Amino acid sequence: MINIIDLYNSVNEQLSKNNGRFIEVEEFNRIVNAVQGEYFKELIGATNKRVDGRTRVGYGNNQDADHRLDPFRDKKEVVVIDSEVNIGDDVHKVTSISNKRNNRALVRIDEDRLGRLFDNPLRSPNEEDVYYLETGGGNLEVFGLVDTLVVRFLKVPKKAYLSMKTVTITAGSRTVERTEPDPDNSVNLEWSNTEYKTILNRVLNMFSTPNRDIFVTQKTERDKVSNE
């Protein structure tokens, strides 16, 4: 797990060394989540970008990329009711679905293949042939005899958040208030610490001239909409 306070301090340290800039907490939170979201999409092959200058990847085709996603692997059991099931909105990408009773993997199909599989009216379902069709919104339609599914998946990265608190310092007759990071109410990044440098560099890269201009334009547009 990447400590968000450490990351914030590293970003400010690098920015102050290079251009004397200090990043506001709100801006930092927004950039960090934009960066981790884009990085996650790149690793699962949802974009057409290269990861760290390497060849484009797709999930399941690159062990190094897959390993980086380890913190987001999860599984859950879901009960099938009337051949339908909802696997939840925390599931970003399904990696496998199996029958809990016999640990046999279900086969993913589309509507065209479904028509070919079940065009025989005399064909009856059995435990050997269990298929699922993704119908959108986390919903699955299951074909075959199965009560409970074990779903393995990549979960959506949790939104990171740096919280600040006001601290009162008394020295003699003087009382001074200052703000500092609040570890109790902050939310760290779920990425492995081995990804610290990658995330840090990507955040800093947002302050290069082209990326900074794009970011400022997007922020301006959001501010316009919120003020209307």
| pLDDT averaged over every residue in the chain | 80
Taking domain 73-155, whether its CATH number is 2.40.30 is answered by: yes
Q: Out of 49-58, 136-145, 152-161, which region has the weakest mean confidence (pLDDT)?
A: 49-58
What's the distance, Cα to Cα, between the start and end of the chain in Å?
39
Strand-pair category, 174-181 with 164-171: antiparallel
User: What's the mean pLDDT in 100-123?
Assistant: 71
Average pLDDT over residues 198-225: 65
pTM for the structure as a whole: 0.73
pLDDT at 214 (0 to 100): 47
DSSP per residue over 108-160, as a string?
E--HHHHHHHT--TT---BTTB-EEEEEETTEEEEESS-SEEEEEEEEPPPPP
| Residue whose structure tokens are 């990071």 | 181
Q: Burial, 125: exposed, middle or buried (Cβ in 10 Å; 0-12, 13-18, 19+)? A: middle
Domain map of the chain by residue range?
Answer: 4-66+159-227, 73-155
Token pair for 201:
């560099």
Percent of the chain with pLDDT over 70: 75
pLDDT given at position 216: 47
13-48 pLDDT, tens digit per residue, is 888 876 667 788 999 999 999 999 999 988 887 776
Going by pLDDT thresholds of 50, 70 and 90, the confidence category of residue 174 is confident
